[in-house]
Structure 1
Amino acid sequence: MSLPTIGYIGLGNAGYPMAANLPRAGYTLVVRDADPEREKKFVHEFPSCRIAKPGKDAFNDCEVIITMLPNGKVVRDVVLGENGIGPALKAGTVIIDTSSSSPFDTRALGEELAAHKLLLVDSPITQEFLHAIHDAGATLMIGSDSEEAIQKAKPVLDAMSKYTFVMGRLGAGHAMKTLNNYVSVGSIIALCDALVAGQKFGLDPNVMLDVLNVGTGKNFSTAYSMKEEGLTRRFQTGYQLSLLVKDVKIAKEVIESTGFKTGFPDLALHDLSDGLKLVQDGACHTECLKSWESRAGVTLKRRERD
């Protein structure tokens, strides 16, 4: 049985390695990115794939379209905006949004796409260790109102990931992603507090990480991102601080929509937004350390890369 041709839109820091898993699994891709050089690099690496031609009908031979874009508003513009590809797609085409989008935007887009007889699946990404997405090691959270769409999307998603979880109706995947990141933010803020306070007290932050990683304080930041990219000052996780702030804002909306009240989202936004003022556009999320260092009046001892 031949595999369907996949349209893939967005070859950024996460999109490129995620897309690369598909031709390795035998799929042919039609790719599009805002940066033509990224497109050229991809089809040079995977000659079975091709760059999407200009125009709205560039993906009309694709049964599945995957988007990996900055947010849901950009996804909507690509699909149903002035130059959107949606109206030219065949009825029954499944669009899989793997971006970090708002679940509320996703549900609204799903209603619009239904009018064009197009099916939407939200399936954002997380990972259990740094750069797992490069080797089909991602974790994908799936939401859709259509069982048909899930069944059609699942083999494609399985080719890009190690774990897949069907979370519920449309938007449930994006809700899980933002709450996952919200939990991660809690550990980031606590770790930054601990590292600057520990060094001021006289502890070595690198030894602190070693202790945390064999104790109850172990988490993604202690084991991977802050250890490998933050304290080494390399700052190359591939995940931007601005995107982390965006995800916390979405998490705040999700939490508030349930009627539950908690003060942590505002605290997290305050602390992380302070970090944005000290870094350049596109800065790695681990550069938030600079805000803690500035407030504490210390520079954390640098860690040598393993």
Structure 2
Amino acid sequence: MSQSNGSSQATKVGYIGLGNAGYPLASTLARAGYHTTVQDADPERAKKFASGHQNSSAATESSDAFKDVDVLVTMLPNGEIVRDVLLGSSGVAKSMKKGAVIVDTSSSSPFHTRETGKMLEEVNTGLTLIDSPVTQEYAWALGKGDATLMVGCSNQSALEIAMPILKTMAKHVFVMGELGAGHAMKTLNNYTSAASIMGLCDALIAGQKFGLDPAQMVDVMNVGTGVNFSTKESFRTDGLTRRFSSGYQLSLLLKDMKIARTLIDKTGPHSALSDLIVDSFADSDKIAGPGADHTQVIQGWEQKAGIQLKQSKAPEE
């Protein structure tokens, strides 16, 4: 997956957004031999990436920085920022060449993504937008080329151009349907995960107050029917250890839950669970403060219960 080949060297890739997810994902492309032009809100981060990876360079600040790329990948905080980067006053879309493909791996509203796709066609009829948000089956999979991608695309030819890029970044690539389908799947995946986090927080607080050890509780769940990503990965290694360094911010999870609630409300009967998740996570986000790791969501439960969960060692310690 990370081997160089002639086709990868011939394909020019742009990458915008080198955060906790973007940096490792872009790294898989550079290692595979793609000439990767990178850009970030922090220019020094882009320069650091370029200096540390062969086949890569830092983009200039000009709107035509990606005029020669075949595929442009974006990994940004939300769909509004993606739209601004592409179509704002300094947007790069106008100068991109005909036939180029834009792959948005950000976590965004599927409805907003479809609107952006239409706007791109109006500005540059030769561009195609694909949504391909990311999830993972184990922590830190992104830098190993083991990501899971959920793809929405309404142009088969564009999908064929992008597919080698997608398969370089990911172990699993699921084509979910038309443009927006990838973002719909991502938000519903995160919604399901968030529901398990709520149940886990309830259980850990109640268990400790009863006299159970939180770490041992999670160990039981991991060999029982309560197992989920949070018990196996983030909460066991970063929540209960109180390292709070999973690499995924609580504010981003809250944003995703608001998107999920909108999607559920627009496509089916209203769900009381979606309101409960959004309200509970919003309370925790205020308590944990700006930049909080998503595992700090437990602090909202701790404050309401008047206790702090017992700190445990990491499983490998």
Task: Determine if the TM-score, normalized by the shorter chain, exceeds 0.5.
Answer: yes
Q: Quote the Cα distance in structure 2 between the aligned partners of 1:112 and 1:16.
A: 28
Report the Cα offset of residue 282 of structure 1.
1.3
Q: Quote the Cα distance in structure 1 between the aligned partners of 2:31 and 2:54.
A: 11
Residue of 279, 284, 290 corresponding to 2:299: 290
What is the match of residue 74 of structure 2? 67
What is the match of residue 104 of structure 2? 97
Deviates more, 1:41-50 or 1:26-35: 41-50
Deviations 1:16-74, CA, capped at 9 Å, x for gaps: 00100001111110110011221121011113211112211110110110000000110
Q: What secondary structure is seen at the aligned counterpart in 2 of 1:277?
A: helix
* TM-score, length-scaled by structure 2: 0.95
1:203 matched to 2:212: yes
Q: What secondary structure is seen at the aligned counterpart in 1 of 2:287?
A: coil
What is the match of residue 241 of structure 2? 232
Residue of 190, 194, 202 corresponding to 1:185: 194
What is the match of residue 16 of structure 1? 23
Q: Quote the Cα distance in structure 2 between the aligned partners of 1:254 and 1:211.
A: 34
Q: What secondary structure is seen at the aligned counterpart in 2 of 1:162?
A: strand
What is the match of residue 178 of structure 2? 169
Structure 1 moving runs of 4+ over 2 Å: none
Q: Quote the Cα distance in structure 2 between the aligned partners of 1:140 and 1:71.
A: 17
What is the match of residue 107 of structure 1? 114
Q: What secondary structure is seen at the aligned counterpart in 2 of 1:30?
A: strand
1:142 matched to 2:159: no
The alignment covers a number of residue pairs equal to 306
Report the Cα offset of residue 257 of structure 1.
1.1
Deviations 1:124-182, CA, capped at 9 Å, x for gaps: 00000111112111000000111111111110000001000000000000000000000
Q: What secondary structure is seen at the aligned counterpart in 1 of 2:186?
A: helix
What is the match of residue 212 of structure 1? 221
Q: Quote the Cα distance in structure 2 between the aligned partners of 1:269 and 1:131.
A: 26
Q: Quote the Cα distance in structure 2 between the aligned partners of 1:15 and 1:96.
A: 12
Q: Quote the Cα distance in structure 2 between the aligned partners of 1:163 and 1:206.
A: 31
RMSD (Å), alpha carbons = 0.8
Code of the aligned partner of 1:107: R
Code of the aligned partner of 1:58: A
Gaps of 5+ in 1: none
Q: Quote the Cα distance in structure 2 between the aligned partners of 1:265 and 1:36.
A: 38
Identity rate, percent: 54
